[in-house]
């Protein structure tokens, strides 16, 4: 059994889809207090901060924490606070290449693993009416960079390098590899 230390519905769905048994709980960690501009450092510090807090909450349990950021080449695109901010963030991705970076930490059978994965997308230009419909749906809420590669953004993908699961917030292929290796011991 694994504890997914995240409130993310998408991360939970990824685990469920591959048959990993888990429960979803979280510990409090203020990632907004992290003042780093390097996206790799930021996402690593955020996921590790969550991991350290969850180690205290769930002392002898198998745990998984993760954090995801989107970058448009120069800026970290965080979760939008409102519809106008979501519009601005999404327009910065239209007809551009972005990177979605996910860092995760796992303690499984007393072994600890940390890693960073990225997926690169090149998008065609977003249709304005389609963008407004997406904004009105509020599905962008809680998404790094307001980006939903399995939803709104999917039809605009021109090129992808990496795993879709990484872009969805959890590199499930690596989770399976780590858990599989440790289950074999």
Give the CATH number of the domain where residue 104 resides. Answer: 3.90.950.10
Tell me, yes or no, if 136 is annotated catalytic: no
Query: Which residues in the chain land under pLDDT 70?
Result: 181-185
Give start and end residues of each alpha helix (H) in the chain. Answer: 9-17, 39-57, 83-91, 128-137, 164-167, 172-184
Question: Exactly one of 67, 72, 127, 130 is catalytic; which is it?
Answer: 67
Which residues share a beta bridge with 64? 4, 106
Closest CA to 170 of 120, 100, 78: 100
Contact between residue 71 and residue 97 where contact means Cβ atoms under 8 Å apart = no
Residue 73's pLDDT is what? 84
**How many domains are contained in the chain?**
1
Residue 185's pLDDT is what? 40
Q: Containing domain of residue 88, as a range?
A: 2-184
| Three-class DSSP category at 123 | strand
Q: How many CB atoms within 10 Å of residue 25?
A: 15
Closest CA to 114 of 62, 47, 58: 47
Phi-psi region of 110 (alpha: psi -120 to 50; beta: other; left: phi over 0): left
Residue 178's pLDDT is what? 93
Residue 182's pLDDT is what? 54
Residue 181's pLDDT is what? 58
Rounded percentage of the chain residues whose pLDDT exceeds 70: 97
| Strand pairing class (2-5; 63-71) | parallel
């Amino acid at each position: 059994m694994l504890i997914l230390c995240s409130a993310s519905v998408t991360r939970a769905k990824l685990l469920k889809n591959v048959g990993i048994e888990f429960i979803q709980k979280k510990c409090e960690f203020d990632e907004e207090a992290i003042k780093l501009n390097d996206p790799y450092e930021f996402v690593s510090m955020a996921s590790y901060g969550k991991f350290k807090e969850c180690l205290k909450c769930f002392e002898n349990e198998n745990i998984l924490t993760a954090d995801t950021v989107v970058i448009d080449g120069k800026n970290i695109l965080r979760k939008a606070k409102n519809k106008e901010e979501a519009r601005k963030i999404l327009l910065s991705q239209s007809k551009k290449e972005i990177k979605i970076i996910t860092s995760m930490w796992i303690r499984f059978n007393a072994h600890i693993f940390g890693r960073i994965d990225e997926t690169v997308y090149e998008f065609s230009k977003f249709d304005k009416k389609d963008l407004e419909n997406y904004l009105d749906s509020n599905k962008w809420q809680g998404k790094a960079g307001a980006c939903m590669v399995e939803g709104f953004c999917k039809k605009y993908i021109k090129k992808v390098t990496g795993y879709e699961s990484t872009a969805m917030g959890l590199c499930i292929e690596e989770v399976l590899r780590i858990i599989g290796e440790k289950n074999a011991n």
